[in-house]
Amino acid sequence: MNIAIMSDSHDNIWNLRKALEIIKAENCGRIIHCGDFVAPFMFRELEKAGIPVHCVFGNNDGDKSLLTRFALQSSGLITIDSLIGELDLDGFSIAFTHEWIVAEGLAATGKYQLVCFGHSHQYMEKRIGDTLVLNPGEIMGKDGSPGFCIVDTLTQNVRQIAII
Q: Rounded to whole angstroms, how far apart are CA atoms 19 and 34?
A: 15
DSSP H helical segments within 91-130, as ranges?
100-108
Which string of b and e fits 70-101 if b means at least 16 CB within 10 Å?
Answer: bbeebeebbebbeebbebeeeebebbbbbbee
Q: Rounded to whole angstroms, how far apart are CA atoms 164 and 157?
A: 22
* pLDDT score at 62: 84
Q: Which CATH class is domain 2-162?
A: alpha beta
pTM: 0.97
* Domain ranges for the chain: 2-162
Low pLDDT (below 50) residues in the chain: none
* pLDDT score at 90: 92
* pLDDT score at 21: 98
Residues forming beta bridges with residue 149, ordered by sequence position? 5, 160
* Backbone torsions φ then ψ of 54, nearest 5 degrees: -120, 130
* pLDDT score at 144: 84
Asked if 148 and 137 count as a contact pair (C-beta separation under 8 A), the reply is: yes
